[in-house]
Amino acid sequence: MKKDLTQGKVTSSLLLFACPMILGNLLQQCYNIADTFIVGRFLGADALAAVGSAYSFMTFLTSVITGLCMGSGTVLSVWIGRKDGQKMKNCMAASFLFILIVSVIIIIMAFAGISFILDMLHVPAGIYGLMREYIGIIFYGIFFVFLYNFFAYVLRAAGNSVMPLCFLGIAAVLNIVLDWLFVVIFRKGVGGAAVATVIAQAVSGIGISIYVYLKETGFRLQKEDFRIKRETVREVVWHSVAACVQQSVMNFGILMIQGLVNRFGTAVMAAFAAAVKIDSFAYMPAQEFGNAFSVFISQNYGGRKTGRVKEGIRQAAKVSVLFCLAVSAVIVLFAPCLMQIFVEGAETDIIRIGTGYLRVEGSFYCGIGMLFLLYGFYRGVEKPGMSLVLTVISLGTRVLLAYLLAPVPFIGVWGIWWAIPIGWLLADLAGISCIRRALTL
């Protein structure tokens, strides 16, 4: 199901395209929530802390691949908007080779550097073995993450957001079933949870690759498509690397926050692990809406439809604000209940710490919703460098304030919690102030 985002009503076009992407990302969170729920309930707080800390690192690692795929998808969207099929296929071929090489390098470095990674994260001795076991298995899924994300962004660039959702849905259900089987029935511990996730990733990655080859003949690459000109390589690498660096900086900042959190002990680590899953699940629709908005902007920018771009900005901002206000209310009001999904009611310290985190972050979801739109806008108008600048402002503020405030005795972890929304708001101000200049098409 392809959709031409340069035609039709702006709001309905955006929502119809974004909804499958939002559902897909929520399903992707089910990968992680399934691990967290089953590990927390059946393996205890130490295993939950280990899996949560490993999740932060894996998010950083896979963000490199996701960012590269996102950047290449933006380039494809622009050429699809300009109705240049051959240029699009040349860009697709260049992107595939480039991202494949990077993925192989990441896999080799990940396996070679496991001990260094664990030391860098300040992993407590009590959970060191658990975390090493988990990430030693989860690394095998990196190649499948590449396959799924590359072909998912190719399909989305053409306006097809439904098929990526279908394959992700299959993988999410499979992951939950296998989690239960390996952890609860076969009692394979955190290693079983990791195996379940890798199998699910393999199904989604291989499945979507086969679908694109068999069904989407417009994206079936031929030998001549790999005769790539130097300017095509430059275009693909610039957009891909800029998006990759943005994603990596974003997740490296999260990784640094995880390292700081780890210094406060297992209770704070477990609370942070559970709360971050809830937090990510809550604002992920806004993030995917921003990604859908980027495709909308790319196609219309490529088609030189300035008026439609401006109308898209106005309508997307309205939708994002209304959604974020509703989600904020739910998170702030029901934070303790949400924490008890992942931890036993007797773990009062973990619930209290996690509730504090959720109520601070949840109060400012409009800030991060607007930031995701700004990221999408600047990628769409072929200014990915500006998206990177906003990420540096947001994450730089977050990390700097967190490391300054957390050691203060009467502030502690609250300094980490408050540093995050302050970073969002400062980046929003910078991004909004530059929109008019960027609209000079």
Q: Which residues of 160-194 are buried (b: 16+ CB within 10 A; e: fewer)?
A: bbbbbbebbbbbbebbbebbbebbeeeeebbbbbb
Give the separation between CA 180 and CA 39, rounded to whole angstroms. Answer: 10
Are 142 and 106 within 8 A, CB to CB?
yes
Give the separation between CA 417 and CA 439, rounded to whole angstroms. Answer: 35
Residues 6+ apart with CB under 8 A from 247: 63, 64, 66, 67, 70
The predicted structure's pLDDT at residue 150: 95
Domain boundaries defined on the chain: 10-438
Give the separation between CA 192 and CA 104, rounded to whole angstroms. Answer: 25
Hey, what's the torsion of the CAs at 57, 58, 61, 62, to 10 degrees?
Answer: -150
Are 415 and 406 within 8 A, CB to CB?
yes
Are 40 and 115 within 8 A, CB to CB?
no
Residues 6+ apart with CB under 8 A from 8: none
The predicted structure's pLDDT at residue 250: 74
Are 195 and 188 within 8 A, CB to CB?
yes
Q: How many CA atoms lie within 13 A of 375 on its CB side?
A: 31
Axis-axis angle for helices 306-339, 266-302 (nearest 10): 160
Tell me how far apart the terminal alpha carbons of the chain are, to the nearest angstrom: 29
Are 366 and 414 within 8 A, CB to CB?
no
Largest CA distance in the chain: 65
At CB < 8 A and 24+ separation, what contacts does 197-200 make?
A: 197/31, 197/35, 197/138, 197/141, 198/137, 198/138, 198/140, 198/141, 198/144, 199/174, 199/175, 200/31, 200/171, 200/172, 200/174, 200/175
The predicted structure's pLDDT at residue 366: 95
Structure tokens, 248: 């990596």
> Smallest Cα–Cα separation from 151: which of 33, 32, 24?
24
Structure tokens, 371: 């930031």
pLDDT in tens, the chain (441 residues): 456 777 888 888 888 888 888 888 777 766 666 667 788 888 888 888 888 778 778 877 888 888 888 888 888 887 887 777 778 888 888 899 999 999 999 999 999 988 888 888 788 888 899 999 999 999 999 999 999 999 999 998 888 889 998 998 898 889 889 999 999 999 998 999 999 999 999 999 999 999 998 988 788 888 888 887 888 888 888 888 887 777 777 777 777 888 888 888 888 888 888 898 888 888 888 988 998 898 888 888 877 888 888 899 999 999 999 999 999 999 999 999 999 888 877 778 899 999 999 999 999 999 999 999 999 999 888 788 898 899 889 989 999 999 999 989 889 889 999 999 999 999 999 999 988 777 665
Give the separation between CA 212 and CA 160, rounded to whole angstroms. Answer: 11
The predicted structure's pLDDT at residue 166: 92
- Calculate ∠ Cα 162-1-285, nearest 5°: 30
Give the separation between CA 351 and CA 336, rounded to whole angstroms. Answer: 6
For 249-287, the DSSP string reads HHHHHHHHHHHHHHTT-HHHHHHHHHHHHHHHHHHHHHH
pTM of the model: 0.77
SS3 406: coil
